[in-house]
């Protein structure tokens, strides 16, 4: 696969900043507790689906303490239309328990602390920090992974390695780049049938059809 040149990387960077400067997550949340849960549930599940599930969940368990004491069966029932709901129900309850026991009921706003919570990996921690604090971090989901490969920004085989490559190449405005790449991958540079006629980056594209992830 052809790699993007330094000049192309600079131009791609600017185009994303110009187009997506106001972009934010499409997940609905009111506070850090709700955001962590929404991001954790969104793994292998669409934001639209998560937004249908969370109102009832947050109504019943409005804070970490109430979720920490929840009956797992009831939590499973509330999130059962989400992928991997058995595992996610267990994780969000354990996450809430740790938040109560270790952090006094407050979500820690530090990526090193966040990854100690059940169900929170590096990607989830970074997404929370990007969204909630505007942190200069990159998080790689399937959309960002696909877009960065199609644009020749990365040929890494894992999300974590792709993240490190993008951080090194872009350095700043990572928050806007992350949000922009997610939305661009979700609505334009889709895995199947990408909307190349609507794309503002066609001249930088290295693969168009061949990279499906």
| CATH code assigned at 86 | 1.10.340.30
Residue 135: both structure tokens together = 């942190």
pLDDT of 115:
96
- Work out the percent of the chain whose per-residue pLDDT is above 70: 97
DSSP state of 2: P
pLDDT reading at 148 higher than 70? yes
Are residue 110 and residue 148 in the same domain, yes or no? no
150 in any annotated domain: yes
pLDDT exceeds cutoff 60 at 213: no
Q: Give the residue numbers spanning the domain of 87.
A: 32-133
**In angstroms, rounded to a whole number, what is the distance separating the alpha carbons of residues 49 and 61?**
19
pLDDT at 133: 93
Closest alpha carbon to 133 in 109, 103, 162, 159? 109
- pLDDT(210) > 70: no
In a domain, 39, yes or no: yes
pLDDT digits (tens, 9 = 90+) for 88-104: 999 999 999 999 999 99
| Final residue in a domain of this structure, among 82, 102, 133 | 133
* pLDDT score at 212: 59
pLDDT of 208 reads 65
Q: How confident is the model at residue 1 (pLDDT cuts 50, 70, 90)?
A: confident
pLDDT score of 2: 84
The residue-averaged pLDDT of 6-34 equals 95
Measured torsion, CA atoms of residues 128, 132, 133, 135, in degrees rounded to the nearest 10: 40
Give the chain's domain count: 2
- Mutual orientation of helices 32-41 and 47-60 as an angle, nearest 10°? 130
Under 8 Å CB-to-CB from 149, ≥6 apart: which residues? 1, 155, 162, 207, 211, 213
CA distance 28 to 47: 9
Average pLDDT, stretch 188-197?
Answer: 93
Q: Long-range contacts for 125-132 (Cβ within 8 Å, ≥24 apart)?
A: 126/163, 126/178, 127/25, 127/39, 127/178, 128/32, 128/35, 128/36, 128/39, 130/174, 130/175, 130/178, 130/179, 131/24, 131/25, 131/27, 131/35, 131/39, 132/32, 132/35
Q: Say if residue 190's pLDDT is above 60.
A: yes
3-state secondary structure of 25: coil
Q: Is 67 among the domain residues?
A: yes
Confidence grade of residue 153 (pLDDT, cut at 50, 70, 90) = very high
Dist. CA 12–CA 63, nearest whole Å: 41
156 has pLDDT over 80 = yes
Which residues are identified as catalytic? 123, 141
- Say yes or no: 71 and 129 in one domain: yes
CB 118 within 8 A of CB 64: no
Residues 104 and 150 grouped into a single domain: no
Looking at the structure, do residues 58 and 126 belong to the same domain, yes or no?
Answer: yes
Do 194 and 166 belong to one domain? yes
Judge if 198 and 151 occupy the same domain.
yes
What confidence score (pLDDT) does residue 209 get? 60
Task: Say how far apart CA 167 and CA 200 lie, in whole Å.
Answer: 22
Look at residues 84, 102, 133 and tell me which one is the last residue of a structural domain: 133
Does residue 156 fall inside a structural domain?
Answer: yes
Interval 38-97: pLDDT, tens = 999 998 899 999 999 999 999 999 999 999 999 999 999 999 999 999 999 999 999 999
Query: Do the Cβ atoms of 201 and 12 come closer than 8 Å?
Result: yes
Final residue of a domain: which of 118, 133, 148? 133
């Amino acid at each position: 696969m052809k790699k993007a040149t330094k000049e192309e990387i600079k131009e791609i960077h600017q185009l994303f900043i110009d187009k997506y400067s106001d972009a934010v997550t499409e997940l609905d949340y009111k506070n850090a507790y709700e955001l962590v849960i929404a991001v954790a549930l969104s793994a292998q599940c669409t934001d639209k689906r998560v937004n249908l599930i969370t109102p009832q969940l947050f109504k019943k368990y409005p804070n970490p303490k109430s979720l920490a004491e929840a009956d797992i069966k009831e939590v499973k029932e509330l999130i059962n239309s989400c992928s991997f709901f058995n595992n996610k129900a267990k994780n969000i309850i354990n996450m809430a328990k740790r938040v109560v026991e270790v952090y006094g009921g407050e979500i820690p706003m530090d990526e090193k602390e966040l990854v100690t919570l059940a169900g929170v990996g590096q990607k989830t921690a970074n997404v929370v920090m990007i969204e909630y604090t505007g942190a200069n971090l990159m998080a790689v989901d399937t959309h960002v992974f696909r877009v960065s490969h199609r644009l020749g920004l990365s040929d890494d085989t894992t999300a974590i390695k792709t993240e490190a490559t993008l951080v090194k190449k872009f350095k700043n405005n990572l928050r806007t780049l992350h949000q922009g790449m997610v939305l661009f991958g979700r609505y334009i540079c889709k895995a199947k049938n990408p909307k190349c006629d609507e794309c503002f980056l066609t001249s930088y594209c290295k693969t168009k059809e061949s990279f499906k992830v």
